[in-house]
Amino acid sequence: MTIIKFPANMKWGAATASYQIEGATKEDGRGKSIWDTFCETPGKVVNGDSGEVACDSYHRVDEDVAIMKDLGIDTYRFSIAWPRVFPVGRGEVNEKGLAYYHRLVDALLENGIEPMVTLYHWDLPQALQDQGGWDNRDTIDAFVDYAELMFKEFSGKVNKWITFNEPWCVSFLSNYEGRHAPGNQDLQLAVNVAHHLHVAHGRTVQKFRTLGLDGEIGYAPNVTWYEPYSNKEEDVLACQRGNAELIEWFFDPVFKGSYPQFMVDWFAKKGVHVPILDGDMEDIRQPIDFVGINYYTGGVAKYKENSGLFDLEPVDMGYEKTDIGWNIYPEGFYKVLTYLTEQYGQVPIYITENGSCYNDEPVEGRVRDDRRIAYLKQHLTSLSRSIESGVNIKGYLSWSLMDNFEWAEGYSMRFGIVYVNYRTLERIKKDSFYWFKQTIRNRWFDV
Ligand code: GCO
């Protein structure tokens, strides 16, 4: 038996996102978001599912917070739906939308759970998309105004803020691969969006500092890890590009005030350039208090001409996969965390998402998701190794507190440690919930 131990001051938590759990998309004055539109578009989401009901968390604050309390978490990460607060993205505030987040934050604080709030987890007001969305620099100003209102509104209650969740998904996945809302397929557009997200991030951090409020602010990129199949230069360079699409492209601007030149050159060969205006890079390069890391999967890959955007092809090494088809690759979690520390220093890191998709159903009221427990153990073991190697880990948040609307996969893919029956909306704590609860209490587990 090996004991895996964690520092006594490390925070434990669970995460969700507004569109994935709230439901009530047409209630209390919420405006339409690009995800409502995407879900209405035939063929975009499995089964034509949408977030209209989701987990109905909008109406179940007390029930859900009681579940968190039982779990024993220190921190709950959730996101604010921008169109609930500003139905058309700017201008008039929707007080009922704000009231919902106050109810939630108050319930968390009453139960000793710290809120960690993501300002943007993908539900852009449709009205802003109609004016060009993140391709239009006006959206940057609208976002900073929205963020400012949230900072002031929740000052004294919320001390941990995240500007953007997974900016790679917002830009490349949604505007080049077209797999998420708004579903565009245009590389120049994706690069524009990524750059404008960076500027919006930096200016929001500046705004937060000038307001002089208590608390910490960061952002939450998703990362992966491609290990080169061989030490041939072409394989090494292809993996470097694949990793940089998620890592350097989204870290260098924030930490170094520049884009990685080898990637700029690669995009230039495809006729694509970064639309940098005077002052942008200084705006983006703002010191942040922490970085949130979302990690799920990785694997081995090699060079292949014309494969994808970066001449990179995954190699199937026979790793086990979760039910969504992603490699289980805990080694990549360790590698990426130590790599980030080498590149960017010992910046404080919260693991803002890590988890697995297993679609186990309840049998006589119990969900025996042993495979999820195994995944958690493997990834927490990597995390513990990274801490021993000097990575500055502040906390670990599991994705997700409960099964929810998994974007283009609709309700077909379950990531929760709590099962949700989408017909009755009943919640059932899975075996992984009880395992995680015990781990949080003990701060160790055995393998
Ligand atoms: C995110 C993630 C989550 C997903 C999870 C599983 O952006 O934070 O996409 O919202 O549900 O990553 O795919």
Question: Does residue 364 lie in a domain region?
Answer: yes
Does the annotation flag 407 for ligand binding?
A: yes
Q: How far, in Å, is the centroid of ligand 1 from the Cα of 237?
A: 28
Q: What is the pLDDT of residue 115?
A: 99
Write the residue with the smallest CA distance to atom 7 of ligand 1: 166
Q: Is the CB of 17 under 6 A from ligand 1?
A: yes
Does the annotation flag 165 for ligand binding?
A: yes
The enclosing domain of 62 has a CATH number of: 3.20.20.80
Question: Does residue 275 lie in a domain region?
Answer: no
Question: Does residue 251 lie in a domain region?
Answer: no
Substitution site in 406, 409, 417 for ligand 1 pocket (most atoms within 8 Å of beta carbon): 406
Q: Is the CB of 403 under 6 A from ligand 1?
A: no
Q: How far, in Å, is the centroid of ligand 1 from the Cα of 347?
A: 23
For every one of its 447 residues, what pLDDT tens digit does the chain have, with 9 covering 90 and above? 899 999 999 999 999 999 999 999 999 999 999 999 999 999 999 999 999 999 999 999 999 999 999 999 999 999 999 999 999 999 999 999 999 999 999 999 999 999 999 999 999 999 999 999 999 999 999 999 999 999 999 999 999 999 999 999 999 999 999 999 999 999 999 999 999 999 999 999 999 999 999 999 999 999 999 999 999 999 999 999 999 999 999 999 999 999 999 999 999 999 999 999 999 999 999 999 999 999 999 999 999 999 999 999 999 999 999 999 999 999 999 999 999 999 999 999 999 999 999 999 999 999 999 999 999 999 999 999 999 999 999 999 999 999 999 999 999 999 999 999 999 999 999 999 999 999 999 999 999
Question: Does residue 246 lie in a domain region?
Answer: no
Does the annotation flag 406 for ligand binding?
A: yes
Please tell me the distance from the alpha carbon of residue 178 to that of residue 190, in angstroms, as a whole number.
10
Where helices occur in 1-159 by DSSP H, the ranges are: 18-21, 34-40, 61-71, 82-85, 95-110, 126-129, 138-153
Please tell me the distance from the alpha carbon of residue 34 to that of residue 50, in angstroms, as a whole number.
12
Where helices occur in 270-320 by DSSP H, the ranges are: 280-284
Closest CA to 98 of 157, 144, 149, 161: 149
Does the annotation flag 392 for ligand binding?
A: no
Please tell me the distance from the alpha carbon of residue 301 to that of residue 235, in angstroms, as a whole number.
7
Domain limits at 95? 3-226+287-297+329-442
Please tell me the distance from the alpha carbon of residue 93 to that of residue 140, in angstroms, as a whole number.
18
Q: What is the pLDDT of residue 232?
A: 98
| Strands annotated E in 166-289 | 216-220, 222-223, 226-228
Q: What is the pLDDT of residue 261?
A: 98
Asked whether 185 and 176 are in contact (CB, 8 A), the reply is yes
Question: Does residue 242 lie in a domain region?
Answer: no
Question: Does residue 195 lie in a domain region?
Answer: yes
Q: Is the CB of 14 under 6 A from ligand 1?
A: no
Question: Does residue 165 lie in a domain region?
Answer: yes
Q: How far, in Å, is the centroid of ligand 1 from the Cα of 407?
A: 8
Q: Is the CB of 35 under 6 A from ligand 1?
A: no
Nearest atom, ligand 1, residue 406 CA: 11
Pull the structure tokens for residue 315.
């190699």
Q: How far, in Å, is the centroid of ligand 1 from the Cα of 251?
A: 19
Does the annotation flag 286 for ligand binding?
A: no
User: ipTM, 2 decimals?
Assistant: 0.91
Closest CA to 400 of 366, 358, 368, 363: 358
Q: Which helix (H) or strand (E) holds 121?
A: none
Please tell me the distance from the alpha carbon of residue 202 to that of residue 218, in angstroms, as a whole number.
10
Asked whether 177 and 185 are in contact (CB, 8 A), the reply is yes
Q: Is 216 a catalytic residue?
A: no
When divided into structural domains, the chain yields a total of 1
Please tell me the distance from the alpha carbon of residue 124 to that of residue 142, in angstroms, as a whole number.
11
Q: Is 166 a catalytic residue?
A: yes
Q: Is the CB of 399 under 6 A from ligand 1?
A: yes
Q: Determine which one of 166, 233, 313, 331 is catalytic.
A: 166
List pLDDT tens digits, range 303-355: 999 999 999 999 999 999 999 999 999 999 999 999 999 999 999 999 999 99
Question: Does residue 245 lie in a domain region?
Answer: no
Q: What is the pLDDT of residue 1?
A: 84
Q: Is the CB of 267 under 6 A from ligand 1?
A: no
